[in-house]
Amino acid sequence: MKHEKQEGGDHYRNLDVQPWEALESWMTKEQFHGFLLGSAVAYLARFNVRVAGKGGITDIKKARHYLEALEECLTKTK
């Protein structure tokens, strides 16, 4: 599921290898889980930013996407 969508554009989906696919192959499971969780927290922290193209509902959607990816990873490792 995590590879089937992208919030905030399609710039990663147009790549042959999505960045988090590369990161997942380079990192341990624990490191990758931390990356996903940290990315979700970063987007939540950016929610109130007042810069064009940043913050607001788009960042909530991006955070949710990372949390869904984390849930998917944790579910498949059980």
Structural domain contains residue 11: no
Structural domain contains residue 38: yes
Amino acid found at 14:
N
Is the pLDDT at 10 greater than 70? The verdict is: no
Q: What is the pLDDT of residues 34-69, one digit of tens each?
A: 999 999 999 999 999 888 878 888 899 989 999 999
Structural domain contains residue 70: yes
Structural domain contains residue 2: no
Containing structural domain, residue 63:
19-76
The predicted pLDDT at position 53 comes to: 78
Structural domain contains residue 31: yes
pTM: 0.76
The predicted pLDDT at position 55 comes to: 84
Structural domain contains residue 68: yes
Structural domain contains residue 36: yes
| Cβ contact 46:59 at 8 Å | yes
More confident call, 48 vs 19: 48
Structural domain contains residue 13: no
Look at the chain and report how many structural domains it folds into: 1
b/e sequence 55-66, b meaning 16+ C-beta within 10 Å: beebbeebbebb
